[in-house]
Structure 1
Amino acid sequence: MTALFDACYEPLRRLASHLPQGSQAGISAPRDLVMSAFRAAIENWERVGTWDLERQRRWLWAVCRNQRTDELRRQGRARAVSSQVRMLYEVPAAPPEQAVLARLALDKCAAVIRGMPPKRREVARMAWLLLMPRDEIAEVLGMSAGSVRVHLSHARKALEHEVGPHLPFPLDGERSGRADDDGAERRGA
């Protein structure tokens, strides 16, 4: 094995330096590629040790090429998967004017809610910020579910009147188990 290493290491390293490199991430340096080939030779020495020097050299070179090919294939798959993940999960940035309008609308909503009577403000906060169901809000605030519904209806109308179509979040379908705020509960009662 020592004679094989002495005879083949440097020529194989020079050859390996001419193999395609891809983008450097995940690609072995030429010396590492050659050392991996020698490690494979040691692991397979019972077979490789019976060959002449030329066949051993060709086999080591084939191992180097195959390892680089595997690295390049893995790198290509990683790039493909990475681009697919980006396409599926990256949220496109909103145009600047849309971001500014959303921020202004949100500021206006906060101002409208701050200007509401304290009970209505608390009901709106619990429903829209804390996402509490109406029956829990009623229990926590010590009021009937109907009062909670009325407070939310007035809060919603105030926001729709002041902010209009620029509301940055939906006002219907709070987490009450129903999508319709204005009639389903009364009809069911």
Structure 2
Amino acid sequence: MLVGTPLDPQTEAPAPPASLDAFLAGIGPRAFRFAEAGLRHREDALDAVQDAMIKLLAYRDRPASEWTPLFWSILRSRIVDVQRRRGFRLKFWAPAPEADGESSIDWADAAAGPAEAQDRREAYTRMVQALRGLPARQREAFTLRVLEELDVATTAKVMGCSEGSVKTHLSRAREALQQQLEDFR
């Protein structure tokens, strides 16, 4: 569960947001990180998130409990569309731009000392690199289940596969990440 997320007292589950605006405001930063990990380009990730948010507006009349899986499904589809479009480019004529250090997000705690801040930045960078090295389905399963804390059924719905496939992709992702990050620990 996310820190600061209000709980529904009857079900002990996160309470649905009061409005679609509140939902979109809360999910925006996480959606951006998800899109950036999949697209590896800041501007494309911002565009994908914005497109997904705009498309979700068509579902504003749906119950708030349906917004989360709908949004992640829309965003995932948008990311796949952008990736497919890139696949048709002539890569030797127009290589994908390299990410520069200035566009990376600094997740370090402002109150931490310089050494601790550097360790956190390095850990975040290693984690992002390791996630980018995973196959797309494993990266999606890991991000949705572990980082976004969606349940297996919702993740399966978002990914368009069975719950067993989600568990398999997640298990393989965890194993690969553990191997890649073992020396860093």
Task: Give the TM-score range, shorter chain.
Answer: 0.3 to 0.5
Ranked by relative contact order (alpha carbons within 8 Å, sequence separation 6 or more), the top structure is: 2
TM-score (norm 1): 0.36
TM-score (norm 2): 0.36
The structure with more helix, counted as a fraction of residues: 1
